[in-house]
Chain A
């Protein structure tokens, strides 16, 4: 299974950022982002990571993906 490399991360996160599907429920929005990240990058998030504080910003998503890359 091949997944997008680091050079694609910014473009992919930008695509996600353009989606106009945010709700007024941060927990639901975090779930939506988790589905997106798991699908595209082939990772599995823990319940602790499915957190609006982590997934509610571009920076938070970047950090999470970087962490996962470092962990291999």
Chain B
């Protein structure tokens, strides 16, 4: 896993110093070395985390005649098979890396090559003959790719802070981006939180050449018509799912030239991936877990049970409220966007633990909740639909008790209230029936905005995500529509970004996600809904498929969503962190201009009184929204996104400069 950046211009040759600064800002993504290519029109930069072909895979890298160059972040897990096919077709390889496979695949198959890749990537190709830049991103947005266009050309990078290495780039918050974040929990690609900065949509390819700039999908999230799913047999589907998950996990564990570890959360998903590694590979298994000293969030008992079952070498880190508060500014420096939960912070600490133990790669269970329907939002939607079929039935009120029986303050204890909460704005024809309660409750954050920001947000051109739903989606099962919304908004915008890539790469660790494998997703999306959410039983087929590998206690434990203490992390101590007072002072809030200082003072006074404890969901989100937005403003709007030690690219630096006719090898 690596960092990529580059510039294409119509004017004078790209500025080498700028490209080097951009690479410096991506040092954490690739501390093992760096390199850049430059000709009179384009420059490609790369910082390397060496995982495959550690000796020979330095980038940027080119084809045989040096007319096609690439900078690549990610992995193509089927590169061995693709490489064999390309060799049979006459291509000559100089390295054993997956990156070179991409170059030859583009030569051979052009744009359709991306459909052949099974992996996670963000990449840029520069075709010198055609003077064409090609950008591509994996199907579900595992790897990030940002860009900025202006009248002179285009700059791109793995992270926004690298684009801000150019002091001429304006740094402003985008009201439409704020609107999306304070509704969907993140922006929806191509939108970002910064005005003028775009991100390539997952599953898309972009081109910039003499015909201008254009983007197009090479893949999209799709589901069959309800009842027309090809496989209806439960046992056959469970066997097929098992086979694909085993293969996806094996590929991600074995296709690496450095050791691969595994996260173990205590839930079924990571237990499955770790158990598959233990059963189907010969390699020793090293697992890593996150624990909390606050018992409300801790899953340590389950983690230790599973680690013992696997005979794994196991490490964990116990995170306190104070730990979350301490690292939060660093966390936001890496998320580069406001976050409404503190949950990324402990993951930042977990990836540091992994790195401290000498690992660069971990396999995790991320994606199973979206692909195989594990989230509570899918169960809530099913209950909402149940209510909508007979709105007058009082007997149905109690269905809310089936949702969260494990919660101490279960809404089920007051069925009429629970129905009024989960049943609000209940329109059975709403394509976002599943997500409306979440979006409505999140939008309460906007009550804190200044009148000016509120006006800008209301007048922004942020598209309602339901308008982006594909033609024909009305014939999908309601669960499929809910999955589409989740896989389009929260998965790429928050789970894989703020909780995923950014927290892993902050400590130079690559995450690999078997549940987001091309073939697993293809199979899962084609399943009948009842095989994923069977009544209210989440991930039904997964449990059935791996009943022999995962202990009963974990397989059938109630779902516990990953959460971390929110407001309590920042207010439960006598001494608040210095940074908090600095960024939330009335002067700082006024300077940022996003939130109303009076409202923020009122909210924080409440937190101070309660120690951040027993705050409702809305207030917890508001606290996190204010803190993270203020930090984004401090670091990326008032500041330029730079951080300590990121002013120069990591050594050794490979240079291929056709403008100055300079060439060096690391």
Q: Chain A interface (Cβ within 8 Å of chain B)? A: 1-4, 8, 11-12, 15-16, 18-21, 23, 27-28, 31-36, 38-40, 44, 46-47, 50
User: B535 and A31: CB pair below 8 A?
Assistant: no
Q: Chain A contacts of B234 at CB under 8 A?
A: 11, 15
Which 4 A/B pairs are nearest by Cβ-Cβ distance? A2-B227, A36-B535, A47-B395, A44-B389
User: B402 and A31: CB pair below 8 A?
Assistant: yes
Q: Chain A contacts of B226 at CB under 8 A?
A: 1-2
Kindly state the separation between the CA atoms of A38 and B387 in the bound complex, as whole angstroms: 11
User: A40 and B530: CB pair below 8 A?
Assistant: yes
User: B386 and A11: CB pair below 8 A?
Assistant: no
Distance from B394 Cβ to chain A, minimum over Cβ atoms (Å): 8
User: A47 and B537: CB pair below 8 A?
Assistant: no
User: B537 and A31: CB pair below 8 A?
Assistant: no
16 additional A-B residue pairs with CB within 8 Å, beyond A11-B234, A19-B534, A35-B402: A2-B227, A3-B227, A4-B227, A15-B540, A19-B540, A23-B405, A28-B401, A33-B535, A34-B386, A35-B386, A38-B389, A39-B382, A39-B385, A39-B535, A47-B395, A50-B395
Q: Chain B contacts of A1 at CB under 8 A?
A: 226-227, 475
Q: Kindly state whether residue B313 has any CB partner on chain A within 8 Å.
A: no
Kindly state the separation between the CA atoms of A40 and B531 in the bound complex, as whole angstroms: 10
Counted as pairs of residues, one from A and one from B, with CB atoms less than 8 Å apart, the total is 74
Q: Kindly state whether residue B87 has any CB partner on chain A within 8 Å.
A: no
**For this complex, into which size category does the number of interface residues on chain B fall?**
20 to 34
Q: Kindly state whether residue B228 has any CB partner on chain A within 8 Å.
A: yes
Distance from B383 Cβ to chain A, minimum over Cβ atoms (Å): 7
User: A31 and B534: CB pair below 8 A?
Assistant: no
The residue in chain A whose Cβ has the minimal distance to the Cβ of B379 is A35
User: B398 and A27: CB pair below 8 A?
Assistant: yes
User: A36 and B389: CB pair below 8 A?
Assistant: no
User: A19 and B537: CB pair below 8 A?
Assistant: yes
User: B382 and A20: CB pair below 8 A?
Assistant: no
User: B536 and A21: CB pair below 8 A?
Assistant: yes
User: What are 27 A-B interface contacts by the 8 Å CB criterion?
Assistant: A1-B227, A1-B475, A2-B227, A4-B232, A11-B233, A15-B540, A16-B534, A19-B534, A19-B535, A19-B540, A21-B535, A21-B536, A21-B537, A28-B402, A31-B395, A31-B396, A31-B399, A32-B402, A32-B536, A35-B383, A35-B402, A35-B536, A39-B529, A39-B530, A44-B390, A47-B390, A50-B395
User: B398 and A35: CB pair below 8 A?
Assistant: no
Q: Chain B interface (Cβ within 8 Å of chain A)? A: 225-228, 232-234, 382-383, 385-386, 389-390, 393-396, 398-399, 401-402, 405, 475, 529-530, 534-537, 540, 544, 556
User: B393 and A32: CB pair below 8 A?
Assistant: no
User: A38 and B386: CB pair below 8 A?
Assistant: yes
Q: Chain B contacts of A21 at CB under 8 A?
A: 535-537
The residue in chain B whose Cβ has the minimal distance to the Cβ of A43 is B389
Q: Chain B contacts of A23 at CB under 8 A?
A: 405
Kindly state the separation between the CA atoms of A44 and B493 in the bound complex, as whole angstroms: 37
Kindly state the separation between the CA atoms of A38 and B394 in the bound complex, as whole angstroms: 17
Secondary structure of the A contact surface, majority rule: helix
Kindly state the separation between the CA atoms of A3 and B385 in the bound complex, as whole angstroms: 17
Q: Chain A contacts of B405 at CB under 8 A?
A: 23
Distance from A50 Cβ to chain B, minimum over Cβ atoms (Å): 6
Kindly state the separation between the CA atoms of A44 and B234 in the bound complex, as whole angstroms: 24
Q: Chain A contacts of B390 at CB under 8 A?
A: 44, 46-47
Q: When the two chains form the complex, which single residue of B228, B399, B530 contacts A2, counting CB atoms closer than 8 Å?
A: B228
Distance from A25 Cβ to chain B, minimum over Cβ atoms (Å): 8
Q: Chain A contacts of B233 at CB under 8 A?
A: 11
Q: Chain A contacts of B535 at CB under 8 A?
A: 16, 19, 21, 32-33, 35-36, 39
Kindly state the separation between the CA atoms of A19 and B529 in the bound complex, as whole angstroms: 16
Distance from A49 Cβ to chain B, minimum over Cβ atoms (Å): 10
Kindly state the separation between the CA atoms of A60 and B41 in the bound complex, as whole angstroms: 74
Q: When the two chains form the complex, which single residue of B393, B394, B530 contacts A15, counting CB atoms closer than 8 Å?
A: B530
Q: Chain B contacts of A18 at CB under 8 A?
A: 544
The residue in chain A whose Cβ has the minimal distance to the Cβ of B227 is A2
Distance from B654 Cβ to chain A, minimum over Cβ atoms (Å): 56
User: A2 and B225: CB pair below 8 A?
Assistant: yes
Kindly state the separation between the CA atoms of A36 and B396 in the bound complex, as whole angstroms: 13
Distance from A37 Cβ to chain B, minimum over Cβ atoms (Å): 9
Q: When the two chains form the complex, which single residue of B225, B393, B399, B475 contacts A35, counting CB atoms closer than 8 Å?
A: B399
Q: Chain B contacts of A50 at CB under 8 A?
A: 395-396
Q: Chain B contacts of A15 at CB under 8 A?
A: 234, 530, 534, 540
Kindly state the separation between the CA atoms of A2 and B389 in the bound complex, as whole angstroms: 18
Kindly state the separation between the CA atoms of A38 and B536 in the bound complex, as whole angstroms: 12
Kindly state the separation between the CA atoms of A34 and B385 in the bound complex, as whole angstroms: 12
Kindly state the separation between the CA atoms of A50 and B402 in the bound complex, as whole angstroms: 15
Q: Chain A contacts of B475 at CB under 8 A?
A: 1
Distance from B423 Cβ to chain A, minimum over Cβ atoms (Å): 14
Q: Chain B contacts of A44 at CB under 8 A?
A: 389-390
Q: Chain B contacts of A32 at CB under 8 A?
A: 402, 535-536
Q: Chain A contacts of B530 at CB under 8 A?
A: 12, 15, 36, 39-40
Kindly state the separation between the CA atoms of A23 and B382 in the bound complex, as whole angstroms: 19
The residue in chain B whose Cβ has the minimal distance to the Cβ of A23 is B405
Kindly state the separation between the CA atoms of A16 and B232 in the bound complex, as whole angstroms: 15
Q: Chain B contacts of A16 at CB under 8 A?
A: 534-535
Q: When the two chains form the complex, which single residue of B232, B398, B544 contacts A31, counting CB atoms closer than 8 Å?
A: B398
